[in-house]
Structure 1
Amino acid sequence: MTPAVARSAGPAEHTAQTAAPAGWEAAARARAARLEELLGDPYDNANPHGLHTLFDADARGVPPRLTEQLLADTGLGAELVPLEHGGLLTRADLLAQTLRPVFRRDVGLGFSLAITSLSAASPVWAAGTAAQRRHLADLLRGGGRAAVLHHELAHANAILRHEFTATAAPDGGFRLDGRKDVILDAARARARVVYARTDPARGPRSHSVLLLDAEEAPGGGERRLPRVPTSGMRGALYSGLEFTDFPVPADALVGRTGEGVPLALRTLQVSRGLVCGVLTAAADTVLHSAVRAVTTGRGGPLARRWTKPLAGVFADLLACDSMATVVLRALSLLPARSQLAAAAVTYVVPDLLRENLEELTTVLGARRFQHRSPEYGALDRLARDLPLAGLGHTGAAACQAVIVPQLRALAERSWLAEEEPPPELFRKGAELPPLDYRLLGVAGGGDFLSASLVGSAARLAPARGAGGRHAVLAELAEGFTGELRALREQCRTLPAYGATRLADPAVCVLSDRYCLIAAAAAVLGVWEAQDGTDPFLADTAWAVLALSRIGGRLGIPVPHLPDGCREQVADELVRRYRTGRGCDLDATLLAR
């Protein structure tokens, strides 16, 4: 499609001199392809890194040691270290690409080897001293692990309960006390990043970040607690740590005293967006198993009864990938303005994935109970893993804690008034600056996704009376823009933010609506940015179906799907399954 109005370049937050080299994207994709090849055919029972072996390890509650060693030997830890510190991390969206082969096979393995260490390292990359960064970079590049001991940011569950306190010591350091029972890889991680209370008063400066080295710890004051079994990620090793009057040197402090909460809010944007991006790969495996279930032994298109659920889930996965990719790219291009979008993607994607798994149960039928079957066991396993991945009630509450306080200000100053983001945000292959944790902002950065939605709707408006799929797409875009207008009027009447607002269901519903509008904006932005290289993504069918499903969830009027739209999406899904392609925006070539 040729837009009626060219997308505005918008305000950029980096100069051309800091743009990333074009070779970064190609190199990351090459590493992802090599990792996919090394991990091999997931359905080959003789493959030591295949689903049969991984499911067996999960059932026995043990880590898949051979696969862990393979990933360590390939240098996966270097992917978590920024380029300036000797690693391979250039951009968050490219990191998601390199991690997807792991998550396509085992969510727990991906968390243990990548997400947890990156979450722990993020405040060090953002505010650590040169010595702290060098020490952690060397550790991760050498195959070591880092554990994160978080404080409670939102509603508690077993993962977040308890906290640590650090009191000032006469030598300038701290004395650490406290206990946490459930920490991923507490027993195996050499580096521990602790969010400890350093001020008894409640407030944004109540906690600080400490970087500890397990091998340099003094003899007393630390007690390792036993392993805790979990319902999901059964092969991951969760256990606890308890500190009693534990001495911590002054040079363990990351950033300044009292900077823990701001650091967490800034750096969580990266891990939240990344988790959403890589979990679409895990859902991709489930969708492939559902297509296998209804096509094995028969050729041609899908039977009519399976077209609606499978095409719908495929469209949802493309919507999830669109939103996650845009947010991860924004961390490089618009780092001071990305927090709102990062919270929105973490709110939307888990809900869509859970709904998708429910839809796929109807397709898989009794096969889904074959828990250890490489062909059909992925659904049950992902359903168990999602809550532990931080994408359950606790994750939703944390996202609302970011979004709700901003609603009134967004309605008064941003929505329908903000300038569009740079077009590179949505364009595959566009050169972007590197991810710099030091530039990440917290709140008050506006809303580039709603601005993009308004621009997309304006460019599509001339097609509304022309008929056909473009007209339906234009109607959908205008419908979401109308919902944004209505949301703006409602949010303008909100009272000043108070502690009780998060407990108000009516206010939380407003944040729900906003997040779905943001998802629609990402889909439209990605569709508009297509250059025709992929005819399927350049066509309107997937975007129309994805937006129709988002609109249905939002409760706005949705036009009837054009004839053949759903069937076209279903045909592409079957084609990808039969040619060994993923269900993501890149149609990734899978090992087989």
Structure 2
Amino acid sequence: MTLPAETETRSAPAAASGGPGAAARARAARLERRLGVPRTGGPAGRCAAGTRHLPPTGIEALLAEEGIAGEFVPAEHGGRLVRADLLARVLRPVFRHDAALGRDLTSLLAAGAVWAAGDPWQRHDVARLLLTGGRIAVVHRGPVRAGAPPHGEITARRVPGGYRLDGRAPVTGGALPAGLHLVHARTGAPDGPGGHSVLLVDPAGRNAGTIRRLPGARGDALEFRDRFVPRGALVGREGDGVVLALRALQVEHAVLCAGLTAAGDAALHHAVRTATAGSPGRIAPRRHRPLAGVFADLLACRAVTTAALRALSLLPSAAHLLAAAVRYVVPGLLRPGLEELVTVLGAHAHGADGPGHGAPGGLTRALSAAESGHTGAAACRSVLVAHLRNLAERSWFTEPEPPPALFAPGAGLPPLDHAALAVAGGGDFMAACLVGCARRLAAPGAAGGRTAVLAELLVAELRALATRCRRLPATVSTPAALVLADRYGLLVCAAAVLRAREAQDGAGPFPADPAWAELALSRIVERLGLPVPGPPDDVRERLVEELLHRHRDDGGLPDAAATAP
């Protein structure tokens, strides 16, 4: 094997002006056209939305033709990955069309272990594979249950010249054959801190032993039997597996939740289209509350996922906690909204042609998958629980706010550096945002109105949460701690809403309108069970008006691509 001076790539050059952001927008627009997700108005565009049903293999072939895997390869290795927020922008059309496929694509982010710690040969091999249309299958440990061994695990025992792999474990990476396997295998003691390592395995290599793919009702698995891999397959150092996985998962969590939010946008569009059928430009008053409420939840999800995506570049030493919070709270916000949409849609919940693009059913299935597994909602909730006491004692009400670029629309950011992503420490800059926004809204002459009242309630909740978290045991998770993690996740989301609203530059009338933030915060406060009257009717009416405007003038997609709301 030779290492060329330049990796051959399929990536297109950045747009002539506007840098990587403009190039990402152009690629997203092309995908929208090819997948049948319209951006322009007109009867043809509106009719096309939700009616193009490509089979999964057909969609994967289309994405391969577009070189979608190149989006997951850093630009320095010949691909198009510059920042996580720009990757999420490109993947939005995929999630709108097929949320489950979009979720499956995010498994390619596991290659972040190679970008973070792989040697030059490994990086070259992964980049070349993805840039020429190949795929990577990720083999990870099965779900861990209390008091039981992992449900599926690969062991790697040292032998002269390398390792021998045995066992079976879940695999992700799509239906197409994989050119490389990124295997998380046990190389040490079961309970040791360095018990896992990452190995890059070539399934076509002529080595001893076998690799078999085993189909299953809950997902496929790979089985290794006495499979030899050379020492050079080890990514990073032996025992680095957990740290490398946690680095890659930060990016995967944020991108996945941004995609699920985009799929929620499509489901909301489906509901608006149904609600206006037969009466263009008008929605029955009885549907205002659920539609406006779901819209507000989606805007809150967009605000917090955008913060997480941008923090990966701007604050890599502290982004891990926000990524875990987003992974936990976003599916929890989306699912009740989908239930509300089903109530609005009734018999139209699956669309005229079955459960296709835009219908809530597909997103519900993707959410179910996203909430399960070894990196699902429960695992991320556990991450939050582990940090609560330390945050209450050392971070909340003392940490400074993050740089303005974290929320400023269009502000430049450093490139994503996988190796710089920390997996512990760093404090909680989102709590600092909540406190800072509340203080500015309450300042003389600020005209904070009802938003200021809600912000102050939320800060009081953070104080109460801090008192309760300081009483938590240092090492043992309790049912009370799980409840506190739930409340903390909602406060993180509220902080993102407040800061995103504050950062609007006046480029559009709706982002600068306090109505969307007021309704989003009201729904968060309601979920927290805090005593506060509901928002006035004119707040909901403003969001319904915006929904109708987007449905009419932007091809029916209720998604503000340029800003958080």
Q: TM-score, normalised by structure 2?
A: 0.90
State the secondary structure of the residue aligned to 2:437.
helix
State the secondary structure of the residue aligned to 2:200.
strand
1:383 corresponding residue in structure 2: 364
State the secondary structure of the residue aligned to 1:417.
coil
Please say if 1:511 is aligned against 2:485.
yes
2:68 corresponding residue in structure 1: 76
Residue 262 (structure 1) aligned to one of 226, 243, 259? 243
- The superposition leaves residues 532-585 of structure 1 with CA deviations (integer Å, 9 ceiling, x where unpaired) of 101101010000000000110011233442451110011101111122253334
Distance 1:324 1:398 in 2: 18
Residue 36 (structure 2) aligned to one of 40, 64, 78? 40
2:81 corresponding residue in structure 1: 89
Distance 1:258 1:208 in 2: 5
Please say if 1:149 is aligned against 2:139.
yes
1:542 corresponding residue in structure 2: 516
- The superposition leaves residues 221-264 of structure 1 with CA deviations (integer Å, 9 ceiling, x where unpaired) of 22332x3245xxxxxxx432211111010000001101111111
Following superposition, the deviation at residue 53 of structure 1 comes to: 4.7
Residue 292 (structure 1) aligned to one of 251, 265, 273? 273
2:194 corresponding residue in structure 1: 205
State the secondary structure of the residue aligned to 2:220.
strand
Following superposition, the deviation at residue 68 of structure 1 comes to: 2.3
Which sits farther off after the overlay, 369-378 or 443-452? Answer: 369-378
Distance 2:18 2:422 in 1: 26
Distance 1:146 1:330 in 2: 26
* Percent of pairs with identical residues: 54
Distance 2:356 2:168 in 1: 41
CA distance change for structure 1 residues 186 and 180 in 2, over 3 Å: closer, same or farther? farther
Work out whether residues 194 and 209 of structure 1, in 8 Å CA contact, stay in contact via their aligned partners in 2: yes
Work out whether residues 52 and 373 of structure 1, in 8 Å CA contact, stay in contact via their aligned partners in 2: no
Distance 2:372 2:268 in 1: 19
Distance 2:144 2:170 in 1: 18
Aligned residue runs from structure 1 range 392-411, under 5 A: 395-411=376-392
Distance 1:442 1:393 in 2: 17
Residue 357 (structure 1) aligned to one of 330, 333, 338? 338
Question: Partner letter of residue 248 of structure 2?
Answer: T
Distance 1:277 1:41 in 2: 17
Please say if 1:131 is aligned against 2:130.
no
Following superposition, the deviation at residue 203 of structure 1 comes to: 3.0
Work out whether residues 167 and 224 of structure 2, in 8 Å CA contact, stay in contact via their aligned partners in 1: yes
Distance 1:375 1:239 in 2: 24
State the secondary structure of the residue aligned to 2:466.
helix
Work out whether residues 290 and 376 of structure 1, in 8 Å CA contact, stay in contact via their aligned partners in 2: no
Gaps spanning 5+ residues in structure 2: where?
1-16
Work out whether residues 109 and 248 of structure 2, in 8 Å CA contact, stay in contact via their aligned partners in 1: no
CA distance change for structure 1 residues 553 and 359 in 2, over 3 Å: closer, same or farther? same
CA distance change for structure 1 residues 181 and 90 in 2, over 3 Å: closer, same or farther? closer
Question: Partner letter of residue 124 of structure 1?
Answer: V
Work out whether residues 97 and 358 of structure 2, in 8 Å CA contact, stay in contact via their aligned partners in 1: no
Gaps spanning 5+ residues in structure 1: where?
1-20, 58-62, 231-237
2:544 corresponding residue in structure 1: 570
Residue 179 (structure 1) aligned to one of 168, 178, 201? 168
Residue 456 (structure 2) aligned to one of 478, 491, 498? 478
- The superposition leaves residues 31-80 of structure 1 with CA deviations (integer Å, 9 ceiling, x where unpaired) of 11122122235699999x9744537x3xxxxx232x32222222211110
Work out whether residues 99 and 366 of structure 2, in 8 Å CA contact, stay in contact via their aligned partners in 1: yes
Work out whether residues 155 and 394 of structure 1, in 8 Å CA contact, stay in contact via their aligned partners in 2: no
Residue 526 (structure 2) aligned to one of 552, 558, 563? 552
Distance 1:186 1:169 in 2: 33
Aligned residue runs from structure 1 range 411-430, under 5 A: 411-430=392-411
Residue 109 (structure 2) aligned to one of 110, 115, 118? 118
Following superposition, the deviation at residue 376 of structure 1 comes to: 8.1
Question: Partner letter of residue 568 of structure 1?
Answer: R
Distance 2:288 2:370 in 1: 30
2:10 corresponding residue in structure 1: none
Following superposition, the deviation at residue 101 of structure 1 comes to: 0.8
2:225 corresponding residue in structure 1: 244
Work out whether residues 327 and 338 of structure 1, in 8 Å CA contact, stay in contact via their aligned partners in 2: yes
Which sits farther off after the overlay, 97-106 or 371-380? Answer: 371-380
Work out whether residues 324 and 384 of structure 2, in 8 Å CA contact, stay in contact via their aligned partners in 1: yes
Work out whether residues 269 and 556 of structure 2, in 8 Å CA contact, stay in contact via their aligned partners in 1: no
Work out whether residues 115 and 275 of structure 1, in 8 Å CA contact, stay in contact via their aligned partners in 2: yes
Question: Partner letter of residue 433 of structure 2?
Answer: S
Work out whether residues 406 and 443 of structure 1, in 8 Å CA contact, stay in contact via their aligned partners in 2: no
Residue 455 (structure 1) aligned to one of 406, 413, 436? 436
Aligned residue runs from structure 1 range 272-287, under 5 A: 272-287=253-268
Work out whether residues 186 and 239 of structure 1, in 8 Å CA contact, stay in contact via their aligned partners in 2: no
CA distance change for structure 1 residues 527 and 401 in 2, over 3 Å: closer, same or farther? same
Question: Partner letter of residue 155 of structure 2?
Answer: T
Work out whether residues 54 and 64 of structure 1, in 8 Å CA contact, stay in contact via their aligned partners in 2: no
1:163 corresponding residue in structure 2: 153
1:13 corresponding residue in structure 2: none
State the secondary structure of the residue aligned to 2:473.
coil
Alignment RMSD (CA, Å): 2.5
Distance 1:538 1:50 in 2: 29
CA distance change for structure 1 residues 22 and 155 in 2, over 3 Å: closer, same or farther? farther
Following superposition, the deviation at residue 107 of structure 1 comes to: 1.8
Work out whether residues 434 and 459 of structure 2, in 8 Å CA contact, stay in contact via their aligned partners in 1: yes
Distance 2:466 2:244 in 1: 30
Following superposition, the deviation at residue 294 of structure 1 comes to: 1.2
Residue 301 (structure 2) aligned to one of 320, 331, 338? 320
Distance 1:182 1:533 in 2: 44
Work out whether residues 153 and 169 of structure 2, in 8 Å CA contact, stay in contact via their aligned partners in 1: yes
Following superposition, the deviation at residue 299 of structure 1 comes to: 3.2
- The superposition leaves residues 262-318 of structure 1 with CA deviations (integer Å, 9 ceiling, x where unpaired) of 111222110011100011111111111111111111134322100000000001001
State the secondary structure of the residue aligned to 2:164.
strand
Question: Partner letter of residue 165 of structure 2?
Answer: L
Work out whether residues 73 and 130 of structure 2, in 8 Å CA contact, stay in contact via their aligned partners in 1: yes
Question: Partner letter of residue 133 of structure 1?
Answer: R
Distance 1:316 1:242 in 2: 42
- The superposition leaves residues 497-542 of structure 1 with CA deviations (integer Å, 9 ceiling, x where unpaired) of 13xx1xx211100111110000000001110100010110101000
Which sits farther off after the overlay, 485-494 or 29-38? Answer: 29-38
Q: TM-score, normalised by structure 1?
A: 0.86
Work out whether residues 163 and 180 of structure 1, in 8 Å CA contact, stay in contact via their aligned partners in 2: yes
Distance 1:277 1:391 in 2: 18
CA distance change for structure 1 residues 286 and 490 in 2, over 3 Å: closer, same or farther? same
Question: Partner letter of residue 212 of structure 1?
Answer: V
Question: Partner letter of residue 27 of structure 2?
Answer: R
Work out whether residues 418 and 446 of structure 1, in 8 Å CA contact, stay in contact via their aligned partners in 2: yes
Residue 93 (structure 2) aligned to one of 98, 101, 104? 101
